[in-house]
Amino acid sequence: MSQMNGASSLVASLEAAGVDVMFGIPGGAILPAYDPIFSSSIRHILVRHEQGAGHAATGYAQVTGRVGVCIATSGPGATNLVTPLADAAMDSVPVVAITGQVPSVAIGTDAFQEADIRGITMPFAKHNYLVTDPADIPRAIAEAFHIASTGRPGPVLVDIAKDALQKMTEFAYPSSVSLKGYKPKLAPDAQSIIDAADLITQSSKPVFYVGGGVIKANASRELLELAQLLGAPVVTTLMARGAFPDSHPLNLGMPGMHGTVAAVTALQKSDLLITLGARFDDRVTGKLSTFAVNAKVIHADVDPAEIGKNRFADVAVLGDLKHSIAALIPAVKAALAKNRPDLTAWLRQMNSLKATYPLGYDVPKDGSLAPQYVIERLGKISGPETIFAAGVGQHQMWASQFVSYENPRTWLNSGGLGTMGYAVPAAMGAKVGAPDSTVWAIDGDGCFQMTNQELTTCALNNIPIKVAIINNESLGMVRQWQTLFYEGRYSNTSLESKRIPNFPMLAEAMGCVGLSCDRPEDVDATIEKAMSINDQPVVVDFRVARDAMVWPMVAAGASNDDILIARETAPDWDSQEL
């Protein structure tokens, strides 16, 4: 134990928690903490907006599997963290946010820069704290890191009153954390594994419905073994891209609103969904009452509240997925040795759909650039070790569809909250967490204009990310819906971003290299030039055709049975034996 002020105790606690980097901006209430940060071993990256700090912490966490840390002052500093923390909650990302609060005597008086950030974040944060006594700081930090990183990961906020940072205290970091009301389960019950294996051997149309939980649990290797053991098809949701190699013959791709015909149909026609770390999100199920109506469900998850939330589970496997899948492997092996169902017909049907309805796109007849082509070439040229971060919208769907993901933690996006502006700061955090990897942000021109200020942070802090702006001068996904559902009345979706701003100039102004490309024949050379620059961030303005749409599509609220492969074009079901 040693005497120090609360601020030093905070920084010593963060060091004890193993923090090596944090993203933030100082201000009045958090100012005492910035003095010991100045001499700490923790690298503090000074961002340009607190939202950038939050998404950077998320990107760092997604890539490393460690807890991402962001720090801000009270009031507006803290409220600017709300969006990234809600984002981290929806995508189950371990993030700890530290905020300064007005002095404890001023709390509740509408003091300057006062906002009840604990109250504001209560609905979505996994947990949060308001600390007014400096003696409570080490315990709050230890608990925050424990809660954020165990069970179903999520964001935890620690709000600390300024006077608690200033007062003297004894520093002692707890050697362990025990919370009466929080004991996440690691190993699944033996009976649940037996029941699951039993269901698996009774199924002739099983499919692995793989969600982001597999990546969170670092269970990709176990999944590969289990999938190959059973020889059943695999679908990977938007949050699970990379959990199972895209190149694997059993992988049918992404299910859901913009999923492949094979993946959507596999779920629809299955008699058993082997659900691993997925949550039956509406973007996957479509109209729930018509989703996979003939399927039984095995639901393996670490969060008990997900079991049966949207879809009844015939067998619930509650536990950490790494443990659960590892336990399933020998159980399924033993069950299959006694009774191996014949999956040949099922696999033949699914492979036929995969071959008949591959992802594709129309090349614009006027010679302009197809956005899908740009993204496809980015994936091919930069290779499977590259980390991609996308914003939200059409470019996000194309980045999920047309890049082949072979490894977990190489695909970052805002899946649950759908946060436009996620890509640039998340890519920044990813590059800090994986400095030796190439990190590409695939961003839209709308998204890019929400958070590009962090390129200044990247340029000044030697964080050489690469940004591909898929510039269709529109809020493209909204425009697509206006095309399909609002008779082409394009209300407020034209951004005119091929005119203003000049993205390469904007990039140059922020200390990056700015490139531009609008012809298909220049795409490869432009990407290669961007790949050759590693001492500065690079921004490429890919000026693409405006009217490209994301296909296939299941309209919001529609049944997955009504998937369209192009406008008013359903798959030819009559020619498929299903």
Partner 1 sequence: MAQHTLEVIVENSPGVLARVAGLFSRRAYNIERLSVGPTDNPETSKMDIVVNLDGHALEQVIAQLDKLINVIAIKEIVPNTAQPIVHDTQPDYQN
Cα(399)–Cα(166) distance, integer angstroms:
47
Tokens of 262: 């094979």
Residue 322 touches partner 1, criterion: CB under 8 A: no
Give the list of residues 6+ apart from residue 291 with CB closer than 8 angstroms, or none.
267, 268, 280, 285, 311, 559, 560
State yes or no: residue 182 binds partner 1 (CB under 8 A): yes
- Nearer Cβ to partner 1 (183/248): 183
Q: Does 367 bind partner 1 (CB under 8 A)?
A: no
Tell me which stretch binds partner 1 (CB under 8 A): 99-107, 303-311, 450-458, 566-574: 303-311
Which of residues 303 and 518 has its CB atom nearest to partner 1 in the complex? 303
Active-site residue, 23 included: no
Q: How far is the CB of 366 from partner 1 (least distance, A)?
A: 49
Provide DSSP, 541-559.
EEEB-SS----SB--TTSB
Residue 4 designated active-site: no
Among 46, 105, 122, 525, interactor with partner 1 by CB under 8 A: 122
State which of positions 323-342 bind partner 1 (CB under 8 A).
Answer: none
Q: Which is nearer to partner 1, 122 or 345 (CB)?
A: 122
Q: Tell me if 140 contacts partner 1 by CB under 8 A.
A: no
Q: Does 304 bind partner 1 (CB under 8 A)?
A: yes
What is residue 369's DSSP assignment? Answer: B
- Nearest CB to partner 1, comparing residues 313 and 467: 313
User: Can you tell me which of 287, 309, 498, 546 binds partner 1, judged by CB under 8 A?
Assistant: 309
Query: Which range in 233-241, 245-253, 302-310, 336-344 contacts partner 1 by CB under 8 A?
Result: 302-310
Which DSSP helix (H) or strand (E) runs through 411?
strand 411-412
Among 187, 190, 345, 505, binds partner 1 (CB under 8 A): 187
- Asked whether 198 and 336 are in contact (CB, 8 A), the reply is no
Rule CB under 8 A: say whether 354 interacts with partner 1: no
Per the rule left: phi > 0, alpha: psi between -120 and 50, beta: everything else, 74 is beta
489 binds partner 1 (CB under 8 A): no
Q: Active-site residue among 162, 269, 322, 431? A: 162
Q: Which token pair is 490?
A: 């394009």
Question: Choosing from 112, 168, 385, 508, which is the catalytic residue?
Answer: 112
The single residue among 11, 130, 257, 530 that binds partner 1, judged by CB under 8 A, is 130
- Asked about 477 being catalytic, the answer comes back as yes
Token pair recorded at residue 251: 């992988």
d(CA 469, CA 511): 17
Residue 481 as a binder of partner 1 (CB under 8 A): the answer is no
In whole angstroms, how close is the CB of 369 to partner 1 at the nearest point?
44
Among 46, 179, 334, 525, binds partner 1 (CB under 8 A): 179
Kindly state whether residue 147 participates in binding partner 1, applying the rule CB under 8 A. yes
Can you tell me whether residue 274 is helix, strand or coil? strand
DSSP 384: T
The DSSP string of 526-542 is HHHHHHH--SS-EEEEE
What's the 3-state SS for 419-440? CCCCHHHHHHHHHHHCCCCCEE
61 near partner 1 (CB under 8 A):
no
Assess whether 113 carries a catalytic annotation. yes
Under the criterion CB under 8 A, does residue 190 sit at the interface with partner 1?
Answer: no
Measured from the CB of residue 323, what is the shortest distance to partner 1 in angstroms? 8
Q: Which of these segments, 124-132, 193-201, 277-285, 481-489, binds partner 1 (CB under 8 A)?
A: 124-132
Q: Within 10 Å of residue 166's Cβ, how many Cβ atoms?
A: 14
260-293: burial string, b at 16+ Cβ within 10 Å, e else: bbbbbbbbbbbbbbbbbbbbbbebbbbbeeebbe
Binder among 186, 288, 293, 525 for partner 1 (CB under 8 A)? 186
**Backbone dihedral angles phi then psi of residue 186, each to the nearest 5 degrees:** -95, -60
Indicate whether 288 belongs to the interface with partner 1 (CB under 8 A).
no
Give the Cα separation of 234 and 260 in Å (integer): 12
Q: In this complex, which beta carbon is closest to partner 1, that of residue 301 or of residue 445?
A: 301
Alpha carbon distances (Å) from 41 to 12, 17, 170, 367:
10, 13, 21, 54
Applying CB under 8 A, does 176 fall inside the site for partner 1? Answer: no
DSSP, collapsed to helix, strand or coil, labels residue 566 as strand
Give the nearer residue to partner 1 in terms of CB position, either 29 or 89: 89
Give the SS3 label for residue 161: strand
Taking each helix axis from N to C terminus, what angle separates 371-382 and 523-532, rounded to the nearest 10 degrees?
40
**Out of 65, 174, 184, 364, the residue judged to bind partner 1 by CB under 8 A:** 184
| DSSP assigned state of 569 | B
Within 8 A by CB and 6+ apart from 151, the residues are 182, 184, 185, 302, 303
Verify binding: residue 105, partner 1, rule CB under 8 A: no
Quick one: which segment of 305-313, 351-359, 495-503, 560-568 binds partner 1 (CB under 8 A)? Answer: 305-313
DSSP 86: H
**Interacting residues of 318 by C-beta distance below 8 A, sequence separation 6+:** 185, 188, 189, 192, 300, 301, 302, 304, 307
Residue type, 458: C
Q: Which of 22, 23, 50, 90 is catalytic?
A: 50
Of 257, 350, 477, 553, which residue is the catalytic one?
477
Residue among 44, 48, 49, 118 that touches partner 1 (CB under 8 A): 118
Decide if residue 279 touches partner 1 (CB under 8 A): no
Name which of 130 and 427 has its Cβ closer to partner 1. 130
Q: Is 126 a catalytic residue?
A: no
Query: Exactly one of 303, 314, 406, 518 binds partner 1 (CB under 8 A); which one?
Result: 303
Measured from the CB atom, is 232 or 317 closer to partner 1? 317
Strand intervals (E) in 102-146: 127-131
Token pair 């005492």 in the structure block, residue: 32
Cβ closest to partner 1, residue 71 vs residue 125: 125
Q: Which residues bind partner 1 (CB under 8 A)?
A: 118-119, 122-123, 126-127, 130, 147, 179-187, 303-305, 307-309
Active site residues per annotation? 50, 112-113, 162, 477
